[in-house]
Amino acid sequence: MSGQCAQEAQPGLDPRSRLLCALGLCVAVAVCRSWPAALAGLGFGAACLALNSGRWGALARRLALVNVFFLGLIATVPLAVPGDPLLRLGSLAFTREGLMLALHMTAKGNAIFLIFWGLVQPLSPPRLGSALSALGVPDKLCLILSLTFRYLDLMRHEWDRLVTAARLRGFTPGTSRRAWGTYGLLLALLFMRAMDKSAAIHQAMICRGFDGRFRSLGGLRWRAVDTALGVAACAGIVLVAVLERGSA
Amino acid sequence: MHISEGVLSAPVLAGGAVLAVAGIAVGLRKLEGEALVRTGVLSAAFFAASLVHLPIGPSSIHLVLSGLMGAMLGFAAFPAIFVGLLLQALLFQFGGLTVLGVNAVVMGLPAVICGLAARPLLSRSGPAFAVGAFACGALSILGSLTLLYLALVLSGDALSVFAGLFFWAHLALMGIEGAITLVILGFLKRMRPELF
Amino acid sequence: MTLVELEGLTCGYQDRVVLADLNLRLDEGQRLGLAGHTGSGKTTLLKAIMGLVTPTGGVVRILGSECRQNGDFTQARRVLGYLFQNSDDQLFCPTVLEDVAFGPLNLGASQAEARAVALECLSMVGLCGFEERLTHRLSGGEKRLTSLAGVLAMRPKALLLDEPTTGLDPESKARVAEVLRGLDLALLVVSHEWDFLTQVTNRYFTLSHGHLHEAAEAPHLHHHVHSLGDLPHSHD
């Protein structure tokens, strides 16, 4: 056949450093209460985008989706916060303080989203799994994550097959009682196949020495850039803390 | 059904994270061998099912099916839901790292409680089964909406209007989830009587 | 050395007998082919050898020791590599390298050792460069070869292969056959494709009504084996 396969080093940052830095920065921004800290968070988010390669179109779409939720907040929070009314709707007052609070939440939410997009979104689920495993997350949880990702596509195809088979036999999707009954049947079949499949998968695992413990292959490498990212993230967290104290 | 980042207060986020860790620990404790593998594969199936758009009138909805997960997986539903939320955050950026704990509790806790509470009824037949199956689906949605309301209100009075609107706007989901859970469990019981 | 010995093996579900009083021996280096119709019990036979179904009667001996309970088979499963009919059941890890390394890690290899064995087995099946590929995005042939690498990584003495060519295109079939021919292992290959069996094995059995019959000589279809296989064609 062919020659010996070579072990190739994974390029780029260690998923552990990405995950830990994202967690630290996101928590810092999530709990801050001051405007300077939230704005600093937006700055971190923008900086983190450099660690995700391109995909600007996808980013714009996701960002728009995130902000639909915040539009809801901007519309409702000012009604619940007492203060200087900007607008009166009958007995309800739309206050300046409330608007500022809602905008503050929006800034934080966007900052956290950008940090996540820059640091975590580039990780494939298997990379995330190996990072979690290396960080001490229980084997069993890592195995559930690994299986869920592995069989997600298979289950989606299974669903498509079930729906196609039903359509070929005259099923028309709709809101009728009958259509929903059919959806229920198809979902039941999907879950039944998943259970049958899991029995076969478990047998295959047993044949390869599975004894209930899931062992990770490891192979992550912490490099100087990871330490640098860690230092930068710590500096960011300290900055948030200082800004919080300064405006308290 | 989840909360976005940047909204909840620090104590609520921390409380959610602690409860989620406890829930995962309990869920994993007795999970071994084939049951562990089944949890992973069913979690994939539930994830796939939650991505399906089902038509309702001129629009469409996604199913939650948390009550059904509770009925089928028991305590293991909690780690399965957590994994689903984690993958959802990674693949679609819905929810995120800081709210993961709160979201897992909001969805997982009612699912496990309703699933376990419904089991005695699910093992019977006739109206008792139907009531149990419907209540399992409907009440786990009610529980999730209530927990979500609490998480928002506990984070500050500022969110009370939003929390109230969110609660009432989603209440109709109870009926839909109850009905579909009843239908699915009915078929499962007929095809695999040994399950319940 | 006898790797597998079945004596009076009987298997069945409720009132249906699948295998009846079946005897079979697989010695080191032997290459046995087993043909039979769908539902004739070929898969049940392999699963009984692996201890995945419980026989209703008879004896399964692996390396000379009798296997009755699940625990007895733990050792047997290190010696016998079982390739499942459906690769999706067998490839349960998200990436190729993780999947191939799963067996060695369970057998106590360190992460570095498991990685080295996995890379070696991937090169044996010709899948260099596939290490980080996602298993659910592989083609049918690649899935089968990855499963084979995962089984080989356990360093078995024999392979039990359940329909290794189902659903594969002719090119992938040829590659699977080539890899199998290059292995210095005992084989028990179950297939309904005589063409394939004649390529990788040299003694043939058929299974019908729960009984095993050895074909005295190469089956008659053997005369008709050539590159076109079962495609319609003409002879000049």
* Residue C109 resides in a domain: no
> Taking CB atoms and an 8 Å limit, are A126 and C92 in contact across chains?
no
**A5 touches C at CB < 8 Å:** yes
Determine the distance in angstroms separating the CA of C6 from the nearest CA of chain A, rounded to an integer.
19
Angle A15-31/A96-119 helices, nearest 10 degrees? 180
Contact by Cβ (8 Å): C107, C147: no
Residue A1 pLDDT: 45
Q: What are the pLDDT digits (tens) for C140-190? A: 999 999 999 999 999 999 999 999 998 899 999 999 999 999 999 999 999
Q: Confidence band (pLDDT; 50, 70, 90) for B59?
A: confident
* Residue B101 resides in a domain: yes
Q: Confidence band (pLDDT; 50, 70, 90) for C96?
A: very high
Residue of higher predicted confidence among B142 and A175? B142
d(CA B113, CA B96): 25
CATH number at residue C52: 3.40.50.300
* Residue B2 resides in a domain: no
**A174 touches B at CB < 8 Å:** yes
* Residue C26 resides in a domain: yes
- The domain total for chain B is 1
Angle at B170 between CA B169 and CA B174, to 5 degrees: 140
> Taking CB atoms and an 8 Å limit, are B162 and A80 in contact across chains?
yes
Please give the residue range of the domain that contains residue B113: 10-195
* Residue C233 resides in a domain: no
Per-residue DSSP letter, B124: S
Interface test with C, best of A207, A214, A215 (most C CBs within 10 A): A207
d(CA A207, CA A194): 20
Q: Give the count of Cβ contacts less than 8 A between chain A and B.
A: 226
> Taking CB atoms and an 8 Å limit, are A194 and B45 in contact across chains?
yes
d(CA C128, CA C130): 6
Angle B77-92/B100-122 helices, nearest 10 degrees? 140
> What is this model's ipTM?
0.95
Q: Confidence band (pLDDT; 50, 70, 90) for A173?
A: confident
* Residue B79 resides in a domain: yes
* Residue C147 resides in a domain: no
Angle at C11 between CA C1 and CA C91, to 5 degrees: 70
Q: Indicate the residue of A151, A201, A209 with minimum beta-carbon distance to C78.
A: A209
Average pLDDT of A98-121? Answer: 95
Percent of chain C with pLDDT over 70: 91
What's the whole-model pTM score? 0.92
Residue B21 pLDDT: 97
CATH number at residue B61: 1.10.1760.20
Helix (H, G, I), strand (E, B) or coil at A153: helix
Residue B1 has pLDDT above 80, yes or no: no
**C44 touches A at CB < 8 Å:** no
* Residue B103 resides in a domain: yes
> Taking CB atoms and an 8 Å limit, are C102 and A208 in contact across chains?
yes
Which of B55-59, B93-97, C60-64, C217-221 is predicted least confidently? C217-221
**Amino acid identity, position B27:** G
Q: What are the pLDDT digits (tens) for A1-41? A: 446 787 666 778 999 999 999 999 999 999 999 999 999 99
Contact by Cβ (8 Å): C130, C146: yes
Residue B107 has pLDDT above 90, yes or no: yes
> Taking CB atoms and an 8 Å limit, are A4 and C120 in contact across chains?
yes
* Residue B143 resides in a domain: yes
Q: What is the dihedral of CA B69, B75, B81, B86, to 10 degrees?
A: -160
**Amino acid identity, position C229:** G
Give A 211-230 residues with CB within 8 A of chain C: 211, 213, 215-219
* Residue C59 resides in a domain: yes
Find chain A residues with C-beta within 8 A of B48's C-beta.
Answer: 152, 155-156, 158-159, 190
Please give the residue range of the domain that contains residue C19: 2-89+156-226
Residue C221 has pLDDT above 60, yes or no: no
Give A 198-217 residues with CB within 8 A of chain B: 198-199, 201-202, 205, 212
Residue of higher predicted confidence among B115 and C235? B115
Q: What are the pLDDT digits (tens) for B24-42? A: 999 999 898 899 999 999 9
Among candidate residues B6, C106, B108, the one with its CA nearest the CA of residue A108: B6
* DSSP E strands, chain C: 2-13, 16-27, 31-35, 57-62, 65-67, 80-83, 158-162, 186-190, 203-208, 211-214
Mean pLDDT value across chain C: 88
- The domain total for chain C is 1
d(CA C69, CA A30): 55
Q: Confidence band (pLDDT; 50, 70, 90) for A223?
A: very high
Determine the distance in angstroms separating the CA of C134 from the nearest CA of chain A, rounded to an integer.
8
Residue C218 has pLDDT above 60, yes or no: no
* Residue C207 resides in a domain: yes
* Residue C169 resides in a domain: yes
